[in-house]
Amino acid sequence: MAIGAGMKNEDITMDVAGPETYTYKEFVRAIARGMGVSRLIIPVPPAIGWLAGRLFGIFLKDDVITMAEIRGLMQGLMASEEEPLGKLMFSEWISENGASLGLKYHNDLRERRYSSPNDEFN
């Protein structure tokens, strides 16, 4: 659904998540529950969260989180006002898959393949 929409030259908003919606804190708590762990969630100022991400990023050789992502989360840009179109409930998925989360680190900088707009002409 999202891939097909992304291939069109249209400016649309499509919420392919769902059918459940979460605040960021609720989402983190749902992940912890699914993993069977109990963690204290402490709100920190954005700059501290970004700095912690940078420190982890040094060791992981990755961009763990960017300030643009933090701003997007704070401004609600990672969610839409559209009706969620997804059918799979995250609460069910995390219950079934939570035990396997965190066993392997996925490094975005190492594994993602970026292409230039000129690549389609080469």
Q: What is the pLDDT of residue 98?
A: 92
Task: Name residue, tokens 């970004």.
Answer: 50
Say how far apart CA 94 and CA 84 lie, in whole Å. 18
For 28-57, what is the mean pLDDT? 93
Tell me which of 58-67, 91-100, 105-114 is least confident.
Answer: 105-114
Contact 107, 60 (CB under 8 A): yes
Q: Decide if pLDDT at 120 tops 60.
A: no
Q: Return left, alpha or beta for 66; rule: phi > 0 is left, psi -120 to 50 is alpha, else beta.
A: beta
Task: Name residue, tokens 């659904």.
Answer: 1
Whether the pTM exceeds 0.75: the reply is no
